[in-house]
Amino acid sequence: MKRIFSGEVYEIISQNGSMVFTYCKKANDNGVLIGYKMISDEKYEPTDVAKNIYLLSKFGSNYRASSELCSNYVKARTAELPSGVLCLLSDIGKTYLVDQNGMPIWSGALSYKGENPADIAVYKNNLWACYKEANVLLRFNLSTMREELRIGGKNSPFSGPVNIFVEGNIATISNMGSNKLLDVDLDSYVVTEKEEFSEKVYSYVKFKDQRCVLLESGLYVI
């Protein structure tokens, strides 16, 4: 592994053959100043980008309207449906379906045993959500927004799942509690161990052929 950024990173997003991430640029008693960077080549050299590049990568073309649904847009999570509708999990746990004009067409809670999702992802016409404390991965029907399948629970393979990255039919789950990445086949529901680290793992993405992971000590290319 190679560390490519050692600052405090909040989120990493794979978008159009590059990776965009947010980080702590400066912190004081008055709050935190957020910085935005992009990595788009094999030299893994982060370059500064404008805030709107990050918002476009995360919320889509109507990012102004969509991001205003969140009090903290950095902590929010998003996933785009095949129809172009954006699923937005706000920083306070409320979930929205937002049309291509940036208007909410549905809102509600996707809670499980009183817990809001840590992250969301879309595969085919289903929404998947992971729950850090309950150690489960749930599938929701996008027509009814109701739970229809659960992986985990008692004797769960998950331990503090906090992030989902989907490529093809495989969801890679970042397990903060076990320092592991797990692969879940979203067609067969088979769970396999991918990698284990010596510290907490918060997020995983792939752009081009590059695999990156956010650990407690920084951002790494695997």
Dump pLDDT digits (tens) for 2-51: 999 999 999 999 988 899 999 999 998 888 999 999 999 878 899 999 99
H helices of the chain, in order, are 51-59, 63-67
Domain, as residue range, for 105:
2-221
**CB burial readout 129-142, b (16+ within 10 A) else e:** bbbbebbbbbbbeb
Mean pLDDT of 176-200: 97
Mean pLDDT on 146-164: 95
CATH code, domain carrying 66: 2.120.10.30
pLDDT at position 189 is 96
Secondary structure tally for the chain: helices H, strands E:
2, 20
How many Å apart are CA 82 and CA 126, to the nearest integer? 10
Distance CA 30, CA 155 (A): 43
Return d(Cα 87, Cα 105) in angstroms, integer.
Answer: 10
| pLDDT confidence of residue 41 | 82
pLDDT at 195 over 90: yes
**Reported pTM:** 0.95
Query: Does the pLDDT of residue 192 top 90, yes or no?
Result: yes
Domain count, the chain: 1
By DSSP bridging, strand 136-141 and strand 126-131 are antiparallel
Quick one: pLDDT at residue 208? Answer: 87
Q: What is the DSSP letter of 115?
A: B
Nearest to 93 by CA among 113, 118, 73: 118
pLDDT at 105 exceeding the cut of 90: yes
Cβ-Cβ contacts under 8 Å for 198 (sequence gap 6 or more): 179
pLDDT the model gives residue 190: 97
Q: Across residues 86-91, what is the average pLDDT?
A: 96
Residue 160: the pLDDT is 97
